[in-house]
Amino acid sequence: MGNPAVDPSNVVQALVYTLLDVFDATRDLYQTLRLKEKRDYEQSLRAKRLSRELEYLRDEEEEEGERGDESLALDRSAVKRRFEVGVREVGGKFAVGDVITQTALQSQIITLQSALITTFLYGPTTPDPISKHLSVLVTASREAGLQAVDALSAQQLRQLSIIPTPPRSTRSPAPRSSHPHRLPYPVTNETSTSTALIKSSSRNDHDDRSSPYPAKTTILTTTTRPPPQRTDTESTAFSGPISYATSPPQPVYCPYALDLQNHSSQPLSSSITHSTPGTVPFCPHCTRTLQLSPGKSWEVIKHDTPTPTTTTTSHLTTTPRERCFHISNRFVVKCHRPGADAGYMCVLCSRGASANETVCGDVKALVKHVWQDHAVWELEGEEDVEEWGPGGGVRRRSSVKQREDRRDSGLGLGVSGRRSVSLGPRRREVVEVVEYGRMGRPH
pLDDT digits (tens, 9 = 90+) for 184-214: 334 334 333 333 333 333 334 434 444 333 3
pLDDT winner (highest mean) among 6-15, 61-70, 232-241, 389-398: 6-15
Mean pLDDT of the chain: 69
- pLDDT above 50: residue 326: yes
Return the pLDDT at 393.
Answer: 57
Return the pLDDT at 103.
Answer: 95
| Residue pLDDT, tens place only, 249-300 | 556 889 999 989 998 888 888 888 876 666 788 888 888 888 888 878 888 8
Band the pLDDT of 133: cuts 50, 70, 90.
confident
Q: How far apart are CA 36 and CA 62, in angstroms?
A: 13
